Amino acid sequence: MKILVSDPVSAAGIEILQKEFTVDIKLKLPPEELIRIIPEYDALVVRSETKVTKAVIEAANKLKAIGRAGVGVDNIDVEAATQKGIIVLNAPEGNTIAATEHTMAMMLALARNIPQAHQTMKEGKWERGKFMGVEMRGKTLGILGLGRIGTGVAKRAMAMEMEVIAYDPFINADHARNLGIELMEVDEILTKADFITLHLPLTPETKNLLNKEAFAKVKSGVRIINCARGGVINEADLAEAVEQGKVAGIAVDVFEKEPINPENPLLKLEKAVLTPHLGASTAEAQVGVAVDVAHGIIAALRGEPVMTAVNMAPIPAHVLKVVRPYFELAEKMGCLAVHLADGRINSVDIEYNGEISQVDTKMLTTALVKGLLNPILQESINYVNAPGLAKARGIKVKEIRSKESADFANLITVRVRTDKGEHMVAGTLFGQEGRIVLIDGYRVDVAARGWLLLGPHLDQPGMVGKVGTILGEANVNIAGMQVGRTETAGTNIMVMSVEADVPTPVMLKIKAIDGILGAKLVNFNAG
């Protein structure tokens, strides 16, 4: 598989990718060139410079994953990617400290006019009277967006004896209070804060959050720091507020257009401290995000769940710990169930019994649906597109969770209903190994790997021998065999692990044996 890296990403991440894939590094690609070459690639790795537009995504016929070595994904058309089943993942934690520290540096530089004073020194001047600053201690800092970076800034500001207030509608007020931060609405922050710092993503909701109307409400002499995204503040309105003296100064790292347009009004302001999007520019952060994004890309290309995907529901760590060992089993169970089923699938019920039912099992359900669709659809199925593809095919997926579990500590049961009948498979973990323990009500114990030949048959002598003879004549080795029985005698199921694919003519011979009630071959290696 081939990966394109189109922005500067640390060698630490590239080397991880190169161990498994061919990696092309092509920087500063013009948009039309990116569109031209993207069909060759299975994954794309970017930072904030490459614009992954709808047109790029439409041209990307092989693309399975887009990795962002950093946090903000506003340069990627996530919706278009989701519609195409492309996983978009980021590296949200690697640059948190770097961006937090840059914010503090910008705030202090702004409060003490450091860049402006430095510039006069370089010009051979000694202008002590010109650069009167303000202290941070005792001032109110308003934080817009109390996520990873916002919280880091809050903690550091409190160490400098600032009062911290914050706006974040998605943060629990008790959580904020425990940190010593009072949550407020934006307007209240505008009227109270001496310093305002932004740590919000750029989304349709946050675009132009600080505009002319907002600047009309701010405390006169407020200082504003933006190390989040250009576009969250309207630059023209900000420049006007600074020129009018309503805003005493600004420190800005991110711009509506990057690289910055030479006409940008912020460039002309004396009371502006500006850096060219350097928030994540530390050696440590770049290694961190590159390594994290490399692991995310590898997981995505292997078809495993991606913990940092932004177009999949995130899985909290305590849930992940419980469900992670079951991902592969769930996927294989889906694969087995779809092989058993004849006809059009109407619904899939997945029941979780035991301890596992006590956590959110949505991602396991997605794994199972992925395994179920993989053998029947041409396109590549992943954790992003599986639920949508099932829905588009009219398959109703239902989860049932119950703490009760009769014979096993944990059991996953899938029932597939088609227009021709119903089939079921149940599985559990023995230690770390996934085992299938029920097939259509027959008690079995098989590992879900390799090739599995299933032969429901009449409970009469000689059945296994006849199948074994046909396989032997076809030179197909049997690695393991068992017969599943139900309480009610009459029919059994033979389950054979075979060491190679069974050719169709051989399967037809097996199906034709008198007493065999339809044989199936499941290839767990596929997909």
Ligand X SMILES: O=C(O)[C@H](O)COP(=O)(O)O
Ligand Y SMILES: NC(=O)c1ccc[n+]([C@@H]2O[C@H](COP(=O)([O-])OP(=O)(O)OC[C@H]3O[C@@H](n4cnc5c(N)ncnc54)[C@H](O)[C@@H]3O)[C@@H](O)[C@H]2O)c1
Tell the residue number behind the tokens 């409970």, with chain if given: 459
Closest-by-Cβ residue to ligand X is 70
Say how far apart CA 89 and CA 212 lie, in whole Å: 35
Q: Which is nearer to ligand Y, 50 or 96 (CB)?
A: 96
Candidate residues 4, 87, 149, 381; the one interacting with ligand Y per rule CB under 6 A? 149
Active site residues: 229, 258, 277
Candidate residues 139, 148, 217, 485; the one interacting with ligand Y per rule CB under 6 A? 148
Question: In the window 67-86, what residues touch ligand Y (CB under 6 A)?
Answer: 71-72
Secondary structure of 494-527 in HEC code, one letter for each residue? EEEEECCCCCHHHHHHHHCCCCECCCEEEECCCC
User: Closest approach of Cβ 133 to ligand Y, in Å?
Assistant: 23
Cβ atoms of 342 and 420 within 8 Å: the answer is yes
- Which of ligand Y, ligand X, none interacts with 47 (beta carbon under 5 to 8 A by kind)? ligand X
Q: Which residues pair with 233 in a beta bridge?
A: 210
Q: Which is nearer to ligand Y, 201 or 515 (CB)?
A: 201
Say how far apart CA 497 and CA 453 lie, in whole Å: 6
- Which of ligand X, ligand Y, none interacts with 228 (beta carbon under 5 to 8 A by kind)? ligand Y
The reply on whether position 492 binds ligand X by CB under 6 A is no
Packed helices 463-473 and 504-511: angle between N→C axes, nearest 10 degrees? 160
The reply on whether position 339 binds ligand X by CB under 6 A is no
Cα distance between the two ends of the chain: 15
Handedness of CA 518, 521, 524, 526 (dihedral sign): negative
Say how far apart CA 213 and CA 194 lie, in whole Å: 18
Site stretch for ligand Y (CB under 6 A), options 57-65, 199-207, 367-375, 426-434: 199-207
The reply on whether position 95 binds ligand X by CB under 6 A is yes
Contact flags string 265-294 toward ligand X, x per CB under 6 A: ------------x-xx--------------
Question: In the window 32-91, what residues touch ligand X (CB under 6 A)?
Answer: 47-48, 69-72
User: Closest approach of Cβ 47 to ligand X, in Å?
Assistant: 3
The reply on whether position 354 binds ligand X by CB under 6 A is no
Say how far apart CA 69 and CA 291 lie, in whole Å: 9
The vertex-151 CA angle with 146 and 156, nearest 5°, equals 140
Q: Which is nearer to ligand X, 147 or 249 (CB)?
A: 147
Sheet holding 410-418, edge to edge: 396-402, 345-354, 410-418, 421-430, 433-439, 442-447, 478-485, 491-498, 451-458, 520-523
Candidate residues 29, 136, 254, 519; the one interacting with ligand Y per rule CB under 6 A? 254
Cβ atoms of 311 and 82 within 8 Å: the answer is yes
Candidate residues 13, 92, 288, 434; the one interacting with ligand Y per rule CB under 6 A? 92
Interface with ligand Y by CB under 6 A: which residues? 71-72, 92, 95-96, 99, 145-150, 168-171, 199-201, 203, 205-206, 227-229, 253-254, 277, 279-280
Interface with ligand X by CB under 6 A: which residues? 47-48, 69-72, 95, 277, 279-280
